[in-house]
């Protein structure tokens, strides 16, 4: 394994251990922190995909039910749906349910709820291309086999003592590579990655939607088709940033 990546994973483990020792706050206090992080994650994940709601507008739409003038109904639904999907993965992570194709379809159904009823929670039946990528996703008739192999590979990694952050990165990049949905692949992949991280005691990875960060994200994803390390490093760095942010909110130095 790349030495820089090893160092990042060690830092993840050290920060996670520090955070685990601090999680004795009252439930209501923790809930408020998580709600703030959820809104930021919803804002940034949707921003990556072109949603123009600001952070404040996202909070108003999700928590207050406010309609923002000049913003489309789709943008409103994307915010509401994503927030509900985060609640879903947080609840799912606390159970002993297996991460499966069914779970992925349920996440996707939430992401596209009310936006694309025909395709929400269903694999695509048409060929697609990924904008800005040279990678050509598999034809629709190959999706059942590829998704089955995807889950099999995930379970293999889980039994091979592979670091959880690397498995989370795999879940994201491999699902994007398969691109099983007509729409919502990016959001669903990021939610799946975070479901695995939450289940393993980590915090939400919040990949930013500003131009420079989004470009680096897409570049690393494109490279992952032949070399997984750049994307693994990006996810590890994002997890470190998230853990440090969480510790800072708790007033803990690292």
Which residues are known to be catalytic? Answer: 179
Name the one residue in this structure whose structure tokens are 């909070």.
59
> Structure tokens of 128?
């697609």
> Do 12 and 202 form a contact (C-beta atoms < 8 A)?
yes
User: What's the sign of the alpha-carbon dihedral 111, 84, 191, 186?
Assistant: positive
Name the one residue in this structure whose structure tokens are 């072109």.
50
Q: What is the Cα–Cα distance from 221 to 218, expressed in whole angstroms?
A: 5
Query: Residue 102 CB: number of other CB atoms within 10 A?
Result: 11
- Rounded alpha-carbon distances, angstroms, from residue 136 to 24, 129, 174, 222: 48, 6, 13, 11
Degrees (nearest 5) of the Cα angle 94, 239, 132? 105
Name the one residue in this structure whose structure tokens are 């942010």.
245
Contacts of 68 (CB under 8 A, 6+ apart): 53, 57, 60, 61, 75, 76
């Amino acid at each position: 394994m790349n030495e820089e990546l090893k160092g990042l994973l060690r830092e993840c483990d050290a920060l996670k251990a520090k955070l685990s020792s601090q999680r004795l706050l009252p439930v209501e206090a923790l809930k408020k922190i998580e709600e703030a992080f959820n809104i930021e994650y919803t804002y940034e994940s949707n921003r990556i995909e072109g949603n123009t709601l600001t952070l404040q507008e996202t909070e108003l739409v999700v928590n207050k039910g406010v309609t923002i003038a000049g913003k489309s109904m789709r943008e409103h639904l994307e915010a509401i749906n994503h927030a509900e999907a985060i609640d879903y993965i947080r609840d799912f992570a606390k159970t002993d349910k297996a991460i499966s194709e069914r779970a992925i379809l349920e996440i996707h159904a939430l992401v596209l709820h009310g936006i694309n009823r025909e395709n929400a929670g269903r694999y695509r039946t048409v060929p697609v291309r990924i904008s800005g990528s040279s990678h050509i996703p598999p034809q629709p008739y190959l999706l059942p086999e590829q998704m089955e192999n995807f889950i099999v590979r995930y379970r293999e990694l889980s039994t091979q003592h592979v670091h959880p952050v690397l498995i989370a990165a795999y879940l994201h990049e491999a699902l994007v590579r398969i691109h099983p949905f007509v729409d919502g692949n990016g959001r669903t992949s990021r939610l799946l990655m975070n479901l695995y991280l939450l289940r393993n005691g980590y915090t939400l990875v919040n990949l930013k939607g500003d131009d420079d960060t989004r470009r680096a994200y897409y570049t690393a994803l494109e490279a992952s088709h032949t070399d997984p390390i750049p994307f693994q490093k990006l996810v590890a760095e994002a997890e470190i940033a998230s853990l440090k942010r969480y510790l800072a909110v708790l007033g803990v130095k690292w």
